[in-house]
A and B are shown apart, each in its own frame.
Chain A
Amino acid sequence: MSRQTETLLMNALIIVVALLTVFPLVWMLSVSFMTPGDAAVFPPPLWPKNATFENYVELFARGGMGRYVFNSFLISTCATLLALTFNVTAGYAFAKMRFFGRDAVFGILLGALIIPAQVGMMPLFLMLKSMGVINTYAGALVPWIASVFGIFLVRQFALSIPDEMIEAARVDGASEFRIFRSIVMPVLQPVLVTVALFTFLTSWNDFMWPLIVLTGEQNYTLPVALAALSREHVQDNEMMMAGAVVTTIPVLLLFLVLQRFYIQGMLSGSVKG
């Protein structure tokens, strides 16, 4: 096989794979603009005959979508802020500070990664019930306060800060908080973006915990609401596609803009770790 035919074949192959991969996304978008009922024909239409926003209007006006968008944004934003506060201080401490039991505690935290989150869900539900936070935003936020993975990411990054830099500041009489704020935080900036992005995306996409803890419709996040809607409206394909678009577009866009940080974090978390 000549190099030219090979180049042609390889490029053709990757284009086909890429088209197949992206097709469900494009079709979701396309069907979401079709008039209700138009997508339930054979052969399935590729593009809307008369593009309309009807499905979106219906979702927001009568489906309560605005409420779910608000819930999702609020919960994911708070989750991100919590994760930043808790994981970044802890990750830095595990990398650069000496304290009693540091290595043992870090080892135990890493060991926890083998336990699937669902194991503790039943007792956690009962615990939150006794605290009265079932069906509240606080209940939905509990798993996101701190995460082993987040601490680990920050620690890996903070290890690269030269000790001399911190030591010099100590000699100059700077307090630990001052050092953290003025020296460490600026250096950690890229990993802050990574932690924020991971937390926002995973908490946005999360399904099982919000399904369990958010028992009232008014508190549903987008995935929980979409799952409930799709069980009710099995036949309304166009409206369901619009719901899928509303649910997934914010995170897709966020990823497209910040993918460099996402992929860097992913690789430092799994390959080097």
Chain B
Amino acid sequence: MKRSATGWLFAGPAVLAIAVFFFIPAAAALFLSLTDFDIYALADIRNLRFVGLRNYIELLQLPLFWLALGNTLYFVFVGVPLSLAASLGAAMLINSKLVRFKPLYRTIFFAPFVMTLVAAAVVWRYLLHTRYGMVNYGLQGIGLQPIDWLGDPAWAMPSIILFAIWKTFGYNMIIFLAGLQSIPEDLYEAARIDGASRWQQFRHVTLPGLTPVLLLTGVLTMAQYFQLFAEPYVMTQGGPAQRTVTVLYFMYEQGFKWWNLGSASAVAFVLFVFMFIFTVLQFAVARPPRGRA
């Protein structure tokens, strides 16, 4: 009994802090999403009314919300596979026995991840500048036409994806590197003796060996990519033609620009439901069906 009390004395403060500042607000958000909390309620709570599912129904009828959802899914479904591929490529480069100065490259590839996101976005906005940007200079150097990266509705989201890959590939690279190093060298040896090509070795030894790591990084990266906010806030302000308004950007504007906190909470819950569904789906796809090994 006494020991139980001491245990709670040690764990209690942290658990309490998480309960008060995370669990209770998250639960309250569900309630808030069922009310018409707006700027009038902010001024006087007596203006608050319970409206049932009205916020959700109104959201589903709002074209901008669908656009934000579409933009976010575009970012997630194009960005996550590309970013995992970039991470895996970088990890395999560093893991190669032929490459020297591995620790140096590892640090360089990881550096963008540690950089402050807002600062990196400011730098990239300049890199991607239509007239003075280094990227267009490079394009023209190899004989291509300059692109209006952040000003062309068709290019804005691809630009943000490119930036996000550069910013985050180092993180998963480190995890893949640990995964690659855990694959026994004997397996490659055996594959070579059986006459397997490079591609076959990658396909039948490397990829199966990395499956658990791929699932883990896939789930975590997707959760992170669903929360796209600062990049469009700094680089495009949601434009051009609202093509980079994401779900969180939309939520931020609803909640903290227009003070529709009820509606913003509904947006947050819809995002949560989407993230949850796609996480479960990833686990379902990665787990082989029963009956087959």
Contact = CB atoms under 8 A, between A and B. Distances in A.
Nearest to A124: B25
B233 interface: yes
Nearest to B112: A21
B34 interface: no
Q: How large is the interface on B (under 10, 10 to 19, 20 to 34, 35 or more residues)?
A: 35 or more
A79 to B, nearest CB: 12
A43 interface: yes
Nearest to B1: A100
Interface string A60-104: 000000000000000000000000011101101110011110100
16 contacts: A14-B105, A21-B111, A25-B111, A85-B13, A99-B7, A99-B8, A109-B15, A114-B275, A116-B226, A116-B275, A117-B22, A226-B122, A244-B123, A245-B119, A251-B114, A270-B217
B18 interface: yes
The 9 closest A-B pairs by CB, nearest first: A99-B7, A120-B25, A90-B14, A93-B10, A123-B28, A146-B14, A244-B119, A93-B11, A223-B118
A244 B5 CA distance: 49
A22 B106 CA distance: 12
B116 A247 contact: yes
- Where chain B touches its partner, the secondary structure class is helix
B166 A21 contact: yes
Interface in B100-126: 100, 104-105, 107-112, 114-120, 122-126
Interface of A: 3, 6-7, 10-11, 13-14, 17-18, 21-25, 27-28, 31, 39-44, 85-87, 89-90, 92-94, 97-100, 102, 105, 109, 112, 114-127, 142-143, 145-148, 151, 176, 180, 201, 204-205, 207-208, 211-212, 222-224, 226-227, 230-231, 237, 240-241, 243-245, 247-248, 251-252, 255-256, 259, 262-263, 266-267, 270-271
B269 A119 contact: yes
B23 interface: yes
A180 B234 contact: no
Contacts of A112: 18, 22-23
B122 A230 contact: yes
Interface string B259-271: 0010011001101
A116 B104 CA distance: 34
A176 B114 CA distance: 38
Nearest to B21: A142
Given A21-B112, A43-B137, A98 B7 contact: yes
Interface of B: 3-8, 10-11, 13-15, 17-18, 21-26, 28-29, 32, 37, 90, 93-94, 96, 98-100, 104-105, 107-112, 114-120, 122-127, 129, 131-134, 137, 166, 171, 174-175, 178-179, 213, 216-217, 220, 223, 226-227, 229-230, 233-234, 237, 248, 251-252, 255-256, 261, 264-265, 268-269, 271-272, 275-276, 279
Contacts of A125: 255-256, 261
B209 to A, nearest CB: 13
Nearest to B96: A10
Contacts of A22: 108, 111
A14 B90 CA distance: 8
Contact of A44 (B4, B99, B132): B132
Given A6-B98, A97-B7, A114-B279, A266 B122 contact: no
Q: Which of B115, B261, B272 has the most CB of A within 10 A?
A: B115
B227 A116 contact: yes
B116 to A, nearest CB: 4
A86 B13 contact: yes
Q: Which of B10, B99, B112, B234 has the most CB of A within 10 A?
A: B10
Contact of A230 (B24, B25, B137, B234): B234
A143 B20 CA distance: 10
A204 B127 CA distance: 24
A116 B90 CA distance: 29
A247 B137 contact: no
Given A14-B99, A145-B17, A255 B114 contact: yes
